[in-house]
Structure 1
Amino acid sequence: MKDKEKIALFIDADNAPAKKIDVVLSELAKFGVVNIRKAYGNWKSANLKGWEEVLHEFAIQPIQQFDLTKGKNATDIALVIDAMDVLYTKNVDTICLVSSDCDFTPLVTRALADGKFVIGFGERKAPPAFVNSCSRFLYLDAEVEQEEEVKLLNGDDLKRETKLINLLRQAIEAVEEEDGWAQLGGIGSHISNHASFDQRNYGFKKLSDLLMAIDLFEMKKTNGTAYWVREKNKSC
């Protein structure tokens, strides 16, 4: 039996919603086992009350950091130091960062350079530099996701997402066969190796649903299970 992936979870409690920790852990369970679970912040602050209530329930170790200087966040520094220590001394496959702070972008790129898979979680306010640097990034503010789903289910709106359309086209071209058809699984794998894309950030549970909504692509099934995709302008 193949060993499950080992995951180290680092939470910037100052910049992450406690009520979404179950969503984070549920998602990480798809990738492996979360062996390391740490949350950083000034636990004397009333702002972290929500996190205090879930620490024991989800076996998360709180790491205390006092606000030593006004305007300077010691939490970020402590988190980065511990994460780097894990990279060098622990056998982990995946690093997970829960934050909406761009300060962690260099940490992400360093972890990627070490061959780690990096998963990010944060709110829509998270800077694009941090979001795009992760192997995968998921937004945690559900209310905004619901609004986006209503808005983006419209195919015309999706077509105006130039970055998204280019990403999908490039992935299809990378794995397509001579007739222009590409397996959906191959498309998803190619995207995951090159971007922080996740279709749920556009309001869709499955990549196939997103592709059908855009209406620039056609799809077919073989053997009743395998999805194939190609651009409509490549149809014979």
Structure 2
Amino acid sequence: MANGDFKPTDTERPLAVLIDADNANPNVVDGLLSEVAKLGVASVKRIYGDWTTPNLSGWKAVLLEHSIQPIQQFRYTTGKNATDSAMIIDAMDLLYTGPFKGFCIVSSDSDFTRLASRLREAGKTVYGFGEMKTPKPFVAACDRFIYTEIFTSIAMNEADESAETPSSLIKQTAKELRKNTKLLLMIRTGIETSSDDNGWSQLGPVGSYLAKASPDFDPRNYGYQKLSELVEAIGLFEIKRDGKIVIIRDARKALVKS
């Protein structure tokens, strides 16, 4: 199945959610699991870390609330990340013994790059969740990568209405969006790959192309909840709506046609 080309029935797919406690924030879990629910059913939810250390104490309430199974992994040697090894071994066990259609790897650690690639080689869909500092090789190895700052922002605002949204998630203006040549090129290419003779394309196929072209593409990264809102904010594309169907075309095409 193509990246981002998800059918409604895909929400019933069994998924394995594996969390690296050393490289994830407990504040993101509510938003994270809500996002996972859009992708499938979290049949397995495991989190890995050395639970004898005080720095993971913030996870306790979260694990109980969401029934996430903690996996104990002692740090046998200073400087060596035994947690990563335990996650990778479990992922491979689940790959061969479970009915999972996809894996959700929650970490900002590039050590999981090869794991993501291997799972995809086996025909599984891989969703990565991590902070914006996540190395690009790991992002590129996933079918789709979602930045957890999105969920942190939601949690902060729900707890404190006066909390400021992270600068990376503030809604960008049309001027700022138009300066993003990579974004504009991807949207225009997405339209061209699925447009009719008049240059019109349904928004769904465009979104699927964007997900394939850039695993970490998400309109929320630019401050917009939906792709249609982002495209409309740019101001360089024509948009028509017919119920739930949205079609778009490059405004330059309209000038050529006229």
TM-score (norm 2): 0.85
Is structure 2 residue 218 aligned with structure 1 residue 198? yes
Q: Distance in 1 between matches of 2:214 and 2:165?
A: 20
Note the C-alpha offset of 1:204.
1.0
Q: Distance in 1 between matches of 2:219 and 2:71?
A: 33
Residues 138-192 of structure 1, C-alpha deviations (whole Å, 9 max, x = no match): 2222359642343x52122112223322221221111111111100011112333
**Could you tell me which residue of structure 1 aligns to residue 233 of structure 2?**
213
Does the 8 Å contact 1:146/1:203 carry over to 2? no
Given the superposition, is the C-alpha separation of residues 104 and 145 from structure 1 closer, same or farther in structure 2, using an over 3 Å criterion? farther
> 1:48-67 residue pairs with structure 2 within 5 A?
48-67=56-75
Q: Give the secondary-structure state (helix, strand or coil) at the position aligned to 2:196.
A: coil
Note the C-alpha offset of 1:76.
0.5
Q: Give the secondary-structure state (helix, strand or coil) at the position aligned to 1:56.
A: helix
Does the 8 Å contact 1:135/1:194 carry over to 2? no
Is structure 2 residue 100 aligned with structure 1 residue 92? yes
Query: Which amino acid letter does the alignment assign opposite residue 233 of structure 1?
Result: R
Note the C-alpha offset of 1:224.
3.4
Q: Which runs of 5+ in 2 are unaligned?
A: 1-8, 154-163
Note the C-alpha offset of 1:225.
3.0
Q: Distance in 1 between matches of 2:75 and 2:178?
A: 46
Equivalent pairs counted in the alignment come to 234
Query: Which amino acid letter does the alignment assign opposite residue 184 of structure 1?
Result: L
Q: Give the secondary-structure state (helix, strand or coil) at the position aligned to 1:106.
A: helix
Is structure 2 residue 75 aligned with structure 1 residue 70? no
Q: 1:168 aligns with which of 187, 196, 200?
A: 187
Judge which range, 82-91 or 133-142, deviates more: 133-142
Is structure 2 residue 208 aligned with structure 1 residue 189? yes
**Could you tell me which residue of structure 2 aligns to residue 39 of structure 1?**
47
Does the 8 Å contact 2:20/2:47 carry over to 1? yes
Alpha-carbon RMSD across the aligned residues, in angstroms, is 1.9
Identical-pair percentage: 46
Moved >3 Å (runs of 4+):
142-146
Does the 8 Å contact 1:19/1:50 carry over to 2? no
Given the superposition, is the C-alpha separation of residues 224 and 61 from structure 1 closer, same or farther in structure 2, using an over 3 Å criterion? closer
**Could you tell me which residue of structure 2 aligns to residue 14 of structure 1?**
22
Q: Give the secondary-structure state (helix, strand or coil) at the position aligned to 2:76.
A: coil
Note the C-alpha offset of 1:211.
0.6
Q: Which runs of 5+ in 1 are unaligned?
A: none
Q: Give the secondary-structure state (helix, strand or coil) at the position aligned to 1:57.
A: helix
Where relative contact order (Cα < 8 A, 6+ residues apart) is larger, the structure is 2
Does the 8 Å contact 1:145/1:203 carry over to 2? no
**Could you tell me which residue of structure 2 aligns to residue 231 of structure 1?**
250
TM-score (norm 1): 0.92
> 1:93-172 residue pairs with structure 2 within 5 A?
93-141=101-149, 142-143=152-153, 146-150=166-170, 152-172=171-191
Given the superposition, is the C-alpha separation of residues 219 and 22 from structure 1 closer, same or farther in structure 2, using an over 3 Å criterion? same
Q: 1:28 aligns with which of 23, 26, 36?
A: 36
Judge which range, 4-13 or 86-95, deviates more: 86-95
Does the 8 Å contact 2:48/2:73 carry over to 1? yes
Q: Distance in 1 between matches of 2:224 and 2:75?
A: 40
Does the 8 Å contact 2:16/2:102 carry over to 1? yes
Query: Which amino acid letter does the alignment assign opposite residue 33 of structure 1?
Result: V
